[in-house]
Structure 1
Amino acid sequence: MAITILEQYWDTEKTMNNPHKGWYIHYFDNGLKRYGDRFNDTDDFRDFPGLDHIYLRLAWSYLEPEEGKFDWAIIDEVIDRWVARGCRIAFRITCKETGADQCYATPKWVMEAGAAGTYFPTGDGGQVWEPDYGNSVFLDKLDAFHRAFAQRYDAMTWMAYVDIGSYGDWGEGHTVFGSNLDWPEEIIYRHLDLHCKHYKQTQLVISDDIVGNRRRGDGSRERLLQAIQERGITLRDDGISVKFFAERFGKSTLRNPEFFEKFWREKPIVLELEHYQTTVDTNTWLEGEPFLEAVKEAHATYAGHHGYTRPWLTENLELANKMGNLLGYWYFIKSIDVEETWIHGKANELKIVWENHGLAPAYQQYNLYLSMLRMGETEQRWETRLWESDNRDWMPSCINGETYRVSLPQSLPQGDYKLGVKLVHDEGCGASRPVELGMRDGIKDEEGYYELTEISIV
């Protein structure tokens, strides 16, 4: 076996746009007015490095203004535009907002049907209605809505995830601006199970505040965290660089970074910045350093900048590039170890050593393909999948070696060959998407294979 070291071909500067990782854009942000309201018809942010999905967070009442009558057009128009652009979509449907212009995030007809709840004053002189989160009428109507929503969207290949947003202010899992109660954990379990019942194919996500904002001492925090994990739900944090947290919880501003340690090896972590302009105004932005530190501590796969996208990107392109690579996985090939001569009728071996320079594993398996391109006047390519490969095992900050066995077809003539590999995401229905590696584009051929070494067939 001959080892070829490939570190000289690494490219740590280029920004890659890979599946199932990266940035997201807030399009609807607890209402229909921001931040997509300033998008123009021609700017689709193709220059946004590592943009993965568009995030739609809006109240239930917009989508079901009358019982059983759904206004899907509000979101379908956004979905159609951005899926055509190549983005995925994520959702949070909320039941409680905090501004007087959204008094009934839960549709008013739910209250009129007998659901219990309470009005609370808002900072702008109005009031909002908070449902009784355990009320049977409320939960029955909520269940029917999510049944309809899931029937329409759960199986869509463009679906990134669904936040569980049915409990708390803005769906964040706390009730600070309303009842300010720790609702019984049994009620929280009902909300978890309601979503798990309907979303069979979509990753569910929930704010860590549903645990972290509860008062300590009764064991409910530990039990809730375990219940979330056991149901296959993952965590997000919506408060990076919020002034309150920035003043109390260190550089990353994460109140409970230890929560994420239980999840990130198996499920993707989602982080959200405080409203960007607010971080600038309160001097908690600090050139994005707290945001970067939070991404590292939580081993995040997705992050949202939470503001008007074009101004943020113009002011923070360097950070967007850096974090776009670090979020999730970021693969490099360290070396290849292969016999210089391959023989027909033998299981020829090659070993590739991989490094993941990202902050998390990939949670989807991608297909690794081998190419053998015959050199000479007439090129001939032979391709095969390396079935022993499983990129989900390539953990961050680890060196991962995989050995593959290749049997050559008798039809492949003797001669000298360039040996290359490529990683591919199978998107279904015959569609595929390459997974870019942190290798120089100069060693990539016209079919997307990274040429690593040469061998001879005898």
Structure 2
Amino acid sequence: MKKYTLLRTFMLFIAALILCGWFSIHTQAAITKGVKAPEQTVCFEPDTTSVLKNPLTGWVMYLGRAWDENFWQTQRYDAMPVNGGDSTVRVSDYAGTCYIRINWNMLESKEGKYVWNDPDSRIYKLLASVRERGMRLAFRINVDSRDQGQNTPLYVKEAGAKGFQDPNNSQIWSPYPDDAVFQQKYEKFLQAFAVAFDDPDKVDFIDAYGLGKWGEAHGVKYNDYSKKEEVFEWITDVYTKAFKRVPLVINYHRLVGDTISWAKPHPDSKRLLERAIAKGYIIRHDAFGMTGYYEQWEKDFARAYRYRLPIIMEGGWITGAHHRYWIDPSGKYREGHSEDVRLGEYEESRNAHVNMMDLRTGDEVASWFNTSFDLVNRFVREGGYRLYPTKVSFVNKARQGELVSMQHNWRNLGWGYCPTNIPQWKGKYKVCIALMDTGHSIVKKQIAEEADLSAWVQGCDGHYTTNISLEGLQKGSYTWLIGLVDTTKAYQPGLKMAVDKNLLFDGWCKVGTLEIGK
């Protein structure tokens, strides 16, 4: 009995030792699998002056439809005087996007013959000169010929489309937008256009309505006015089916799609615009600074979509042509003082929290640089979105295979926002943490899925903790990197950050070092 008791005690002791050893091994494994907290913190000061040229933010310059690729010299865009002095700058160093209001006839005067496929054409060379300067394009395609040249190719009329003559020029013809032949031909054209230009590397946005006077979505002339809403649905459907990757824009005009150009807001306008927005459109307006046109209805509409959609601004007054801007109801614009108009446009843009402002063409561009260069630079600093990491906390020593965490805070210096919430950008741009080895190869990338760039607006920073597994990494020295990557391009940096250039490596921001041991 005593022997049996001793044996049982011995066996229990051995079992306890085994159990203890098992517990010790698995406890150590649990510790290894635990997340190691950050050990070091760095803070970053923002770069507030560099032009970052990110998509859907910053300055837009316009192309003249009659220009060729030499306009950079003939219009002095490569040597634009500033502040009335002898110093000059390149306009393309400030504007990241080049917008052209072109017409259908210029792009396809003969059916199926597309000018963008002809390297010898003036338009092809003009657009290529923009891309050579690291700028993206933007388009509005006009079809209504009133007050302009022949905007719709005449092969459409010859095919049987019904339309009307310009009352001031009997030689100029426009189609009714509710005509079936016009719609069939235009849809075919837009599908071909999208094949070439539904490319976010080339194109920033498409001004995707183009009907009515000057393509501005008002003064639309129908064969049957009762088809107004049907036409609106058709044109917005055609664009959304054709363009999947490039954002589409519509003018939030108080008389959108209607036959007149200015009056009290039409009761249909808000509902129609909301229909376009539901299909994936963003918004712009063509009369900033015109206080008799850009009134409370427009302000309220923009306010309702603040930080929900990016807003693109165009100024209304043409100062270089003495477009009688001094009659503006605000009383703020003195005759002969274009700088007054520029300030008025700037202030209204700030109030609306726009993402993009326009320099336009010719004398208007000269006005911005010659009399209001301070505002050009202010918008670079203050407008649109301007993102950077304010503080990053990281692990600087770890073991192979360990799970470590990084804490990272982000801020937007601009009054606009980064529109990663729009359909064309959904999931496209993300915060990414990376490790680089001593040979400057990126050996680890970890997306911070919880980080939402569109939520970073003035007064609302982003605060995140992301776990990174070191599984598969050899012992040695590494550099922590952080960036805003394009998920459609193998998670390479896609958005420029407002950080000191000396801290950047191929678009990544260098954070600190990590030593991995056994």
TM range (shorter): 0.7 to 0.9
Pair 62,343 (structure 1): closer, same or farther in 2 beyond 3 Å: same
Question: Where does residue 153 of structure 1 map in the other structure?
Answer: 197
| Pair 1:344-2:386 in alignment | no
Question: Where does residue 330 of structure 2 map in the other structure?
Answer: none
SS at the partner of 1:229?
helix
Preserved CA contact (<8 Å) 2:288 2:349: no
Question: Where does residue 43 of structure 2 map in the other structure?
Answer: 6
Offset from partner CA, 1:187-234 (integer Å, 9 cap, x none): 222222222232233322111126568566874123202211111112
| Pair 1:271-2:313 in alignment | yes
Preserved CA contact (<8 Å) 2:103 2:142: yes
Pair 317,216 (structure 1): closer, same or farther in 2 beyond 3 Å: closer
Identity within the alignment, % = 21
Offset from partner CA, 1:255-276 (integer Å, 9 cap, x none): 5123234545454322112335
| Pair 1:105-2:167 in alignment | no
RMSD between superposed Cα atoms in Å: 3.8
| Pair 1:224-2:278 in alignment | no
- Equivalent runs, 1:288-327 vs 2, <5 Å: 288-308=342-362, 311-312=366-367, 314-315=369-370, 316-327=372-383
- Equivalent runs, 1:169-318 vs 2, <5 Å: 169-175=213-219, 184-209=228-253, 211=255, 219-241=267-289, 245-247=290-292, 249=294, 256-263=298-305, 265-274=307-316, 275-278=318-321, 282-283=325-326, 284=333, 285=338, 286=340, 288-308=342-362, 311-312=366-367, 314-315=369-370, 316-318=372-374
Preserved CA contact (<8 Å) 1:49 1:321: no
Give 1:349 shift: 0.7
SS at the partner of 1:65?
coil
Residue segments in structure 2 that go unaligned for 5+ positions in a row:
1-37, 79-88, 327-332
TM-score (norm 2): 0.72
SS at the partner of 1:76?
helix
Preserved CA contact (<8 Å) 2:39 2:394: yes
Question: Where does residue 29 of structure 2 map in the other structure?
Answer: none
Offset from partner CA, 1:311-351 (integer Å, 9 cap, x none): 24532433222213444321122222335643433211111
Residue segments in structure 1 that go unaligned for 5+ positions in a row:
none
Measured in 2, the distance between the counterparts of 1:383 and 1:357 equals: 31
Larger Rg: 2
How many matched pairs?
437
Pair 371,189 (structure 1): closer, same or farther in 2 beyond 3 Å: closer
Measured in 1, the distance between the counterparts of 2:469 and 2:281 equals: 41
Pair 190,453 (structure 1): closer, same or farther in 2 beyond 3 Å: same
Question: Where does residue 356 of structure 1 map in the other structure?
Answer: 412
Preserved CA contact (<8 Å) 1:419 1:451: yes
Offset from partner CA, 1:145-166 (integer Å, 9 cap, x none): 2233223333573122221243
Preserved CA contact (<8 Å) 1:25 1:53: yes
Offset from partner CA, 1:92-117 (integer Å, 9 cap, x none): 11012443x51x32233433443333
Pair 227,371 (structure 1): closer, same or farther in 2 beyond 3 Å: closer
| Pair 1:86-2:86 in alignment | no
Letter in 1 for 2:152: T
User: Which residue, 455, 460, 468 being the options, matches 1:406?
Assistant: 468
SS at the partner of 2:407?
strand
Give 1:288 shift: 2.6
SS at the partner of 2:250?
strand
Preserved CA contact (<8 Å) 1:5 1:336: yes
Measured in 1, the distance between the counterparts of 2:238 and 2:463 equals: 42
Pair 280,129 (structure 1): closer, same or farther in 2 beyond 3 Å: closer
Preserved CA contact (<8 Å) 1:370 1:383: no
Letter in 2 for 1:246: T
Letter in 2 for 1:290: G
Preserved CA contact (<8 Å) 1:95 1:106: yes
